[in-house]
């Protein structure tokens, strides 16, 4: 089975992001705080100045599906600029300072900055592609393949090595790939024992090509 890596998102134009953030009001959210909730009426755009957030959606019962994470220079809430309800929830993974930009100011900024409007289109395309890839992964691949695809998608090249700077916990990986924490733990331990990945605190390094099958 394929373990190809989804394309990495484009680097944002930080100058434009900062200008957009300056239009809003900064707020500090403590770790674990739900910043926006799935299904609520949206409007504001949120720009992350510091910290990290996690995007998630509800599933059957009390289950949650983790969708993505964002850090400084990223933004979220753009899907509800059309006036519809929010399609997912977002919570702070750590204390985060976020600029809350009202819908009117966000739309005026987009209209007045054609170059950044194009970047927004590319970002929306990236997020739609990520959602499609996640759906196909759940539908077509076994648990091991889903885990390795996730690890590869999170890896960044640093000094010639593939590094996952913020390695998700076993529970978080399970929520993102639709597997139990126990199964994730077994697979990760086998990958470590085989010398395929090495974990160091909150980060991990992919040491060599991951096997196509487990």
pLDDT at position 137, please? 65
Find where tokens 């885990």 sit. Answer: 147
| pTM of full prediction above 0.85 | no
CB 155 within 8 A of CB 205: no
Arithmetic mean of pLDDT over the chain: 86
pLDDT of residue 118 exceeding 90, the answer is no
Two domains, one topology: 14-137 and 141-206: no
Q: If you average pLDDT over each of 56-65, 175-184, 188-197, which comes out highest?
A: 188-197
DSSP 8-state secondary structure symbol assigned to residue 41: B
With a CB cutoff of 8 Å and minimum separation 6, the contacts of 27 are: 97, 98, 99, 100
The stretch 77-83 carries a mean pLDDT of 86
Confidence of residue 62 (pLDDT cuts 50, 70, 90): low
Phi, psi (rounded to 5 degrees) for 205: -125, 130
Alpha-helical segments (H) within 40-178 = 103-112, 114-140, 143-154, 170-177
Q: Reading across the β-sheet that carries 161-164, which strands appear in turn?
A: 156-158, 161-164, 203-206, 197-200
pLDDT at position 65, please? 79
pLDDT of residue 4 exceeding 50, the answer is no
CATH class as words, domain 141-206 = mainly alpha
**Per-residue pLDDT tens for 7-38?**
444 456 788 899 999 999 999 999 999 999 99
Topology adopted by domain 14-137: Jelly Rolls (2.60.120)
Higher pLDDT, 132 or 80: 80
The stretch 145-151 carries a mean pLDDT of 91
Q: Report domain extents, the chain.
A: 14-137, 141-206
Name 211's bridge partners: none
Q: Which of 141, 134, 138 is nearest to 212 (CA)?
A: 141
> Which range (66-75, 130-139, 157-166, 168-177) has the least confidence?
130-139
pLDDT at position 214, please? 83
pLDDT at position 3, please? 37
Q: Which of 98, 88, 96, 89 is nearest to 31 (CA)?
A: 96
The stretch 35-58 carries a mean pLDDT of 91
What CA–CA distance (Å, rounded) separates 116 from 36? 24
Higher pLDDT, 131 or 174: 174
């Amino acid at each position: 089975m394929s373990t190809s890596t989804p394309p990495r998102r484009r680097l944002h134009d930080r100058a434009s992001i900062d200008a957009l953030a300056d239009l809003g009001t900064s707020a500090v959210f403590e770790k674990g705080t739900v910043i926006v909730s799935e299904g609520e009426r949206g409007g504001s755009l949120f720009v992350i100045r510091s910290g990290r957030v996690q995007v998630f959606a509800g599933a059957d019962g009390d289950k949650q599906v983790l969708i993505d994470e964002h850090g400084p220079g990223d933004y979220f809430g753009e899907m509800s600029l059309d006036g519809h309800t929010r399609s997912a929830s977002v919570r702070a993974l750590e204390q985060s300072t976020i600029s809350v930009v009202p819908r009117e100011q966000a739309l005026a900024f987009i209209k007045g900055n054609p170059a950044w409007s194009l970047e927004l289109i590319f970002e929306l395309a990236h997020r739609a592609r990520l959602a499609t890839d996640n759906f196909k992964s759940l539908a077509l691949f076994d648990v091991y393949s889903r885990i390795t695809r996730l690890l590869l998608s999170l890896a960044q090249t640093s000094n010639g090595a593939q590094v996952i700077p913020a390695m998700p916990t076993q529970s978080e990986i399970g929520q993102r790939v639709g597997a139990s924490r126990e199964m994730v733990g077994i697979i990760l331990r086998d990958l470590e024992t085989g010398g395929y990945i090495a974990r160091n605190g909150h980060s991990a390094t992919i040491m060599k090509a991951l096997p196509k099958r487990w």
